Amino acid sequence: MPQFRKNSINIDHHEGKLLSKEELDAKKQAALEQKSIISWKSPVRVYKAKSRKYFAKVGLYGFIFVLLAIAIQEYVLAGVVIAVVFVAYVLALAAPETIEHKINNMGIISGGRVFLWEDLDSFWFEKKGDDRVLMVATRLHFPTRLIILLTTVSDRTLLELLERHLHYHHSPVNTLLDKWARKLQNRISLD
């Protein structure tokens, strides 16, 4: 599987030496096998059952944007809008699966995927609806953030554990895209 890294050089932050692909894979395998300090299970994403009103609004907005795209003869845009409406419909209907998250001395393991401390940058906590979320910024191209729901784990426990390895932000780190998305959510309420 490709590693979408921002830099192609793998440096071990404990020893300060360069790692080859084989050494990096061996280190990730060792992280999988190491005893975890803390572990919990949570859904993959924040999920809230949607009402009929939500589906009606999504359908209406989608229909208006498709008509607008057809009116200006942008047929590809109309197809994209239909695809986005379909994805919103599927995500609203399908309940997320539950995965296990572990933290050990080598990094974070989320859903069976290893993120070594070298791959991670900083972290903070957010509240999404009724759910508490751990946000971890990575140094990878993909994913740029780990979004981990906290079900049975306290923020204080994670703060003490993660602060040894990562920088803690007291408030959420928002990019320009995050700010735009939040403004759009406030203006167009689908619930």
Q: Report if residue 1 sits inside a domain.
A: no
pTM score > 0.85 for this model?
no
- Tell which phi-psi region holds residue 38, choosing left (phi > 0), alpha (psi between -120 and 50) or beta: beta
Q: Report if residue 190 sits inside a domain.
A: no
Do 90 and 104 fall into the same domain? Answer: no
Do 112 and 89 fall into the same domain? Answer: no
Number of folded domains that form the chain = 2
Domain of residue 32 covers 10-46+96-184
Last residue of a domain, one of 30, 64, 94: 94
Do 116 and 151 fall into the same domain? Answer: yes
Last residue of a domain, one of 60, 94, 128: 94
| pLDDT tens-digit profile, the chain (191 residues) | 455 554 555 655 555 566 678 877 887 888 888 888 999 999 998 888 889 999 999 999 999 999 999 999 999 999 999 999 999 999 899 989 999 999 999 999 999 899 999 889 999 999 888 899 999 999 888 888 999 999 888 889 999 999 999 999 888 777 888 888 888 878 877 76
Phi, psi (deg, nearest 5) at residue 39: -145, 150
Do 136 and 66 fall into the same domain? Answer: no
Residue 150, Cβ density class (10 Å: 0-12 exposed, 13-18 middle, ≥19 buried): middle
Q: Are 108 and 164 in contact (CB under 8 A)?
A: no
